[in-house]
Amino acid sequence: MALPTPDDAVGYNVYRAMTHGGPYTKLTQSVTSASVYTDTTVNAGDTYYYVATSVDANNTESLPSDEASATVPID
């Protein structure tokens, strides 16, 4: 089974973890075609870890992207 590439992707899934390396929880309810995702369910002071996958027309999901992290500022 060939994994989707950015050229044949119809959308993306976004996953989040509370620790480096996971485990990850899927954030997107369905495949999103947006190239930007805003996580609105975060808490001030917490650090979150994200990966994304591309999905093709057959609903085949790619391997996860490299992990990105973000710490939410405390107001």
How confident is the model over 26-38, as pLDDT tens digits?
Answer: 999 999 888 888 9
Look at the block and give the residue holding tokens 């495949």. 31
Task: Return the CATH number at 36.
Answer: 2.60.40.10
**How many domains would you assign to the chain?**
1
Rounded to an integer, the average pLDDT of 8-22 is 94
Domain-located, residue 2: no
The model's pTM is 0.88
Average pLDDT, integer, range 51-71: 93
Domain of 51, in residue numbers:
9-71
User: What confidence score (pLDDT) does residue 35 get?
Assistant: 81
Say whether pLDDT at 1 is over 80: no
pLDDT value for 44: 96
40-47: long-range pairs with CB below 8 Å, 24+:
42/72, 43/72, 44/72, 44/73, 44/74, 44/75, 45/71, 45/72, 45/73, 45/74, 46/18, 46/71, 46/72, 47/18, 47/71, 47/72
- Comparing 71 with 9, the larger pLDDT belongs to 71
